[in-house]
Amino acid sequence: MNHKSFLVLNSFAISFSQNLPLPSHQEKRRKAEENPTGAEATTTDSEEVNDETLLVVLDLSGNFFKEWRDLGRNLKLDETELDNIEADNRRKGQREVVYHMLLLWKRKHGMKATNKTLRDALKATNRKDLSDHLLNREQCGTTSELKWSSNKPSATICIRKRLWRTIVVSEEGSILKIPGTGVILEIPPGAIDGKRLIQMKIIPNYIQEESTSSFTSKTTVVVELLPNNLKLHHPAKLTLPHCLKLKNLVESKVLVLSSHHVQGTQPKWRPKQNALHQLNETNCIIWVESFSWETYQIDERVVEYKKIKVSAACSQDSHSNTIQLDLGYYIDLPGQKEIMKKNDMKILKEKPFVFYKEGKLPLEILLVKIRPESWKCTEDTNPKEIPFMKIALSVESWCPFGFDKVGEEDCKFYFEATQRDTIELRVPYKDLSGKLLKEWKDVGRNLGLENEDLYECEKNNKDGHKETVYQMLLAWAQRNGSNATYRILGEALKAAGRTDLQEELY
């Protein structure tokens, strides 16, 4: 019987929402297979529909014409209610009629007005395109912190939150911020007429243009502003971060780029002549007059270094007797970690690192030691190198290190990453799944898992108690991402009376 070894994760890969409006459900499934992080994002079928979802349906639906009544009937509204909505809002236009119909359904059914109910009603109204779009929105996302109030030890539960923003903007203007990314769009008063649904999305690397030969490639963020080609009466201020250290901020040259391209195709970047911009130490402010894909490039001749994250990662499905750690890097910007996500890898340890252009030196990864020494490295090459050009082109790269586990369940690996500077990575590997007996459910509850979650772990695993505990800990780690730390787990163990295991963690 094979058992998996549970990895306590110190960080978690971020996934970003797809940028393609109204993709088919089959296309989403295909991309989910290529991007496991997107696939593992939980759906929100049981969540009550919020106003943002209603506005998205309304904005993308165009005119429902006659079928808006069919949608209302499928949402369990009666004919009298539909007649009243039409009479009260006919002069305001069809769009307003549809919105008030959706709003009445939400108010009437309360918590039963769920995402799944709305999707099913759209399908029954022959609007499967909208139903699939809502499902895709629910399955695309990343973790966002939400503090858990409980008398249990302090824990942090991560809810799924789309890494893009959608708001209704009026003539008074507004500000859109994507939390934790540094991406901000400020729309001034008088920039648009009436009310418009505005979206801002970060575009992942795998649907951006291929790398060029510049040291600064993909060291800035690409965003999409929707609706496409919206003309503004007054320029909006767009703030995009970068990860470059510039030798001379004043002499740095910035090329602002935009793209209007066919949906699903690679962007066709064109310079925005005379674009107003302001380059700062950590970001660039661009004033945009219409909506499209937006980014910028900095003159490579004035670049001193770029900020990266050196990381140690491991597949969550590592075999109990053999594991593989992957040591490598990703650019310290939103939208990175693509290889790691595609291979279902989870970060065990990461540290910021300065990668210099001068000298064009590679990044060297050295395994220094293993504790306990009974664990054996199966690699013939040590150290391993990531070539300068891969990092210069922002090509995410990883070096595999294989290990045979002998004796003790837990281990700590000591690595060094060197270019001009050297940093140490102490990578802990812990297996607690075989050490939690009858108190495993108490630990799960202390970690914020519901009784239903624990029941599912127990019901779906026929490979013994250790596998059940592993699945429980894995569920906690996936929900909490970078907050699934040893300290949080240690507090949960202590509260369950397992101070012995807490002491093993730290």
Strand 196-202 relative to strand 322-331: parallel, antiparallel, unpaired? unpaired
Q: What angle do CA 145, 147, 153 make, to 5 degrees?
A: 125
In degrees to the nearest 10, what's the CA dihedral of 111, 116, 122, 123? -150
Burial class (CB in 10 A: 0-12, 13-18, 19+), 465: middle
Q: Do domains 42-139 and 440-505 have the same CATH topology?
A: yes
Residue 234's CB is within 10 A of a number of other CB atoms, namely 13
Q: Tell me the C-alpha distance between 346 and 350, whole Å.
A: 11
Q: Which two tokens stand for residue 244?
A: 């470059």
pLDDT tens, residue order, the chain (506 aa): 433 333 333 322 222 223 333 333 334 334 433 443 333 333 455 566 665 566 666 655 554 556 888 988 999 999 999 988 888 877 766 777 887 888 888 888 877 888 888 888 888 888 887 777 677 655 443 333 322 233 333 322 222 335 788 888 999 999 998 887 899 999 999 999 988 889 898 887 655 655 555 788 778 889 999 888 899 999 999 999 999 999 888 888 899 999 988 766 778 889 998 899 999 999 999 999 999 999 998 988 889 999 998 988 876 444 457 788 889 998 888 766 655 555 556 677 888 999 999 999 999 999 999 888 888 888 888 999 999 998 988 878 889 898 887 766 678 899 999 999 999 988 877 666 667 778 899 998 998 888 888 888 887 776 678 778 878 887 887 677 656 676 788 888 888 888 887 776 65
Q: What angle do CA 419, 421, 424 make, to 5 degrees?
A: 100
Whole-model pTM above 0.75? no
What does CATH list as the number for 305-429?
Answer: 2.60.40.2660
Q: Tell me the C-alpha distance between 340 and 336, whole Å.
A: 9
DSSP reduced 3-state for 279: strand
The structure tokens 């007797």 sit at: 321
Q: Tell me the C-alpha distance between 385 and 331, whole Å.
A: 17
What does CATH list as the number for 163-298?
Answer: 2.60.220.30
Cis peptide before 227 (omega within 30 of 0): yes
Per domain, the residue ranges of the chain are 42-139, 163-298, 305-429, 440-505
Q: Tell me the C-alpha distance between 475 and 469, whole Å.
A: 10
Instruction: Domain 42-139: state its class.
Output: mainly alpha
What does CATH list as the number for 440-505?
Answer: 1.10.533.10
